[in-house]
Chains A and B, each alone.
Chain A
């Protein structure tokens, strides 16, 4: 615009099943920057959009959880590469969404890129760290292996629109789950743009599905959805009543629940550790007789 050219706005859309639909409801809401300046009209997703996202996530689960850990790592690293290539765009979006200076926003985006790299490296290590052979007292091989929980709903943090978002989504899919992500209600643009990054990163469609809209409206049907296996309530941290309601609804099919942490105590730039990886992992233990080669045995 500065040199007289009218810029091309982007229509922000959802990311569901590898495609970019508008909300089936036809609803949009206004998103503004931290100073109240209009940025975009974004889809206000409905319960139906949430259900569609679950269907897409379930469909993708078999392939994604069955992919080799190495392959998942390659793809997560590819996400980092794609994000790096669109660094400037995300710096602008994060700065607008969170009211940060350009240099602050740049360091946030860099941290988000690095977080993808961190989790890309975890995919083929977590199994060795939390699984292994158990020395049972009998002639059996006994092996414990972590496996993904399934379809996980992720309520992304409300404040940290990109680094926080990546910090909660990447571990869920690194572990082999598929995700239905509810973006920050007031700061959804980096999340919706991240969908475009994911779509060009060899990530199979449906592994991550991103919805924008009112958190409570979308979280309720997802918390009670019978084909969702886990829910991360991070995005409900500022609403204790909502978090409690969602946890109670999640009990209906015994979803694994990650409770919200206090917003004040959350430093998204800190070492993430492995907690978010293990939150949505199950342990499978397989037994098999070892048999015996002969009564006399051998000394080695």
Chain B
């Protein structure tokens, strides 16, 4: 199958992005070294090439950045909303102007296909800033009473799966509502956040309003712990989310937590199979499955199991895995060696526990971190691969007979972030959607995002919403 169509390579040129050999922390409008001089390397996961050396923030740097953000808060929060709006509109426009450069950069640092950074990440990043820019002078009309006040300094910690998009989800609403921010990007993907610092400079954003601290978990923990941080916004694993919730217990700090998931994608026997298969593929293989809202559990009605699996395997065999910069690539690299090891270990567990593994027949490049699209059949609810978030291109297939059984199995999870429903019957969509305990339900589609659409989980997938009018609440003292 893989050779049915031979495509000529069509790589996006990486000359559109100029990566410096080293970067500092961005504090109070300036790039600066870490107080203890520590640095770390960021590599391209598809080639293991070192892209740059980046200053590594420690507790002292966190303190400096929070102080800068606190100092900037007074003026920033006092600005008329219409002025804050214009800064954000500027940022949105500059992102649009530089989107090709940023897409290539993101693909290099993250390993995801250029098709995704170009067509999904970057347009959504610009749209998010554009959306929240418009809120900045309309907060009186947002339903939170007259003149709602910002919280102060927001400490924001983002993951590596959508580095710039997660930055946008955090920074845009925070600034629109008059907060200032200290943001820590993930240690494997610091570059787009540092390029964003340059965008803030181009936009003329007052110093200290946005501070960027590349670093590891210790910097994130120091940020959460800092007594002058008023708000913690975290996207990442459920384990770290719980640790943060414990850390801020007994304080006045507010928190929004966007954590893990084990989304059920439910396919009924009357679903249009070809469309459903595309949705299943989008659900779990978008961004190599490194998506918190991935549809990682396929619940397929028993009567169409064989048909769906046949079509799905056929489709997976046509996915192109390889150079993320190639415009024809469907599946890019796994973000890091660590993540690859985690995925591999969970897949081994799946096999050891007796689920049947099938992987798409594709050749893996010899350097970089790669994992072939994989699915497990014969999975029961007790299997590890049906319960734990794998955060990789691995789909667990379970079956059901009745809608009740589908709902029960879908809800049988500690998580409650996303779910999918595939059926032609409208009343069934509504009935099932009503009963699913998940924050986002995609019916006859999957993995769609929009700045106007609130996103966030039930249960141990976290709390608070990002996006839409709802997303403002997370940054207002209401």
Residues of A in contact with B (beta carbons under 8 Å apart):
129-130, 134-138, 140, 142, 144, 149, 229, 240, 243-245, 247-248, 250-254, 256, 275, 282-289
Judge whether B250 is part of the interface by a CB distance below 8 angstroms: yes
Closest chain-A Cβ to B3's Cβ sits at a distance in Å of 34
Assess whether A138 is in contact with B246, with CB atoms less than 8 Å apart: no
Chain B residues near A247: list those with CB within 8 A.
245, 249-250
Q: A134-B450, A284-B439, A289-B445 are in contact. Are A254 and B462 (CB under 8 A)?
A: yes
State the CA gap A270–B465 with chains docked (Å). 28
Assess whether A138 is in contact with B143, with CB atoms less than 8 Å apart: no
Out of B127, B241, B250, B455, name the residue touching A137 (CB < 8 Å). Answer: B127
Assess whether A285 is in contact with B448, with CB atoms less than 8 Å apart: no
Out of A136, A144, A251, name the residue touching B249 (CB < 8 Å). Answer: A251
Q: A142-B450, A251-B242 are in contact. Are A283 and B443 (CB under 8 A)?
A: no
Closest chain-A Cβ to B464's Cβ sits at a distance in Å of 9
Out of A135, A248, A284, name the residue touching B441 (CB < 8 Å). Answer: A284
Closest chain-A Cβ to B122's Cβ sits at a distance in Å of 14
New contact pairs (10) apart from A282-B458, A283-B470, A284-B441, CB-CB < 8 Å = A134-B454, A136-B448, A142-B452, A243-B250, A248-B246, A283-B439, A286-B440, A287-B443, A287-B445, A288-B443
State the CA gap A138–B245 with chains docked (Å). 36
Chain B residues near A248: list those with CB within 8 A.
245-246, 249-250
Q: A144-B470, A240-B250, A288-B429 are in contact. Are A282 and B439 (CB under 8 A)?
A: yes
Judge whether B317 is part of the interface by a CB distance below 8 angstroms: no
Chain B residues near A245: list those with CB within 8 A.
249
State the CA gap A229–B143 with chains docked (Å). 26
Chain B residues near A244: list those with CB within 8 A.
249-250
Query: Of all chain B residues, which has the CB nearest A144?
Result: B454
Among B190-227, those with CB < 8 Å from A are none
Q: A142-B453, A248-B249, A283-B439 are in contact. Are A229 and B445 (CB under 8 A)?
A: no
Residues of B in contact with A (beta carbons under 8 Å apart):
127, 143, 238, 241-243, 245-246, 249-250, 257, 259, 414, 429, 433, 436, 438-445, 448, 450, 452-456, 458-460, 462-463, 465, 468, 470, 478
Q: List 14 A-B contacts (CB under 8 A).
A: A130-B143, A136-B448, A244-B250, A248-B249, A251-B245, A251-B246, A254-B241, A283-B470, A284-B440, A285-B439, A285-B441, A286-B442, A287-B453, A288-B444
Query: Of all chain A residues, which has the CB nearest B449?
Result: A136
Chain A residues near B436: list those with CB within 8 A.
284
Q: A135-B452, A252-B242 are in contact. Are A286 and B441 (CB under 8 A)?
A: yes
Q: A243-B250, A285-B455 are in contact. Are A254 and B448 (CB under 8 A)?
A: no
Chain A residues near B453: list those with CB within 8 A.
134, 136, 142, 144, 285, 287
Chain A residues near B429: list those with CB within 8 A.
288
Closest chain-A Cβ to B395's Cβ sits at a distance in Å of 21
Assess whether A283 is in contact with B465, with CB atoms less than 8 Å apart: yes
Chain A residues near B414: list those with CB within 8 A.
253
Shortest Cβ-Cβ A-B pairs, 10 listed: A244-B250, A251-B245, A247-B249, A136-B450, A248-B249, A134-B452, A251-B246, A288-B443, A286-B441, A248-B246
Assess whether B438 is in contact with A287, with CB atoms less than 8 Å apart: no
State the CA gap A250–B245 with chains docked (Å). 9
Chain B residues near A129: list those with CB within 8 A.
143
Chain B residues near A240: list those with CB within 8 A.
250
State the CA gap A244–B259 with chains docked (Å). 23
Query: Of all chain A residues, which has the CB nearest B145?
Result: A273
Closest chain-B Cβ to A150's Cβ sits at a distance in Å of 8
State the CA gap A283–B455 with chains docked (Å). 8
Chain A residues near B452: list those with CB within 8 A.
134-137, 142
State the CA gap A252–B242 with chains docked (Å). 6
Chain B residues near A137: list those with CB within 8 A.
127, 450, 452
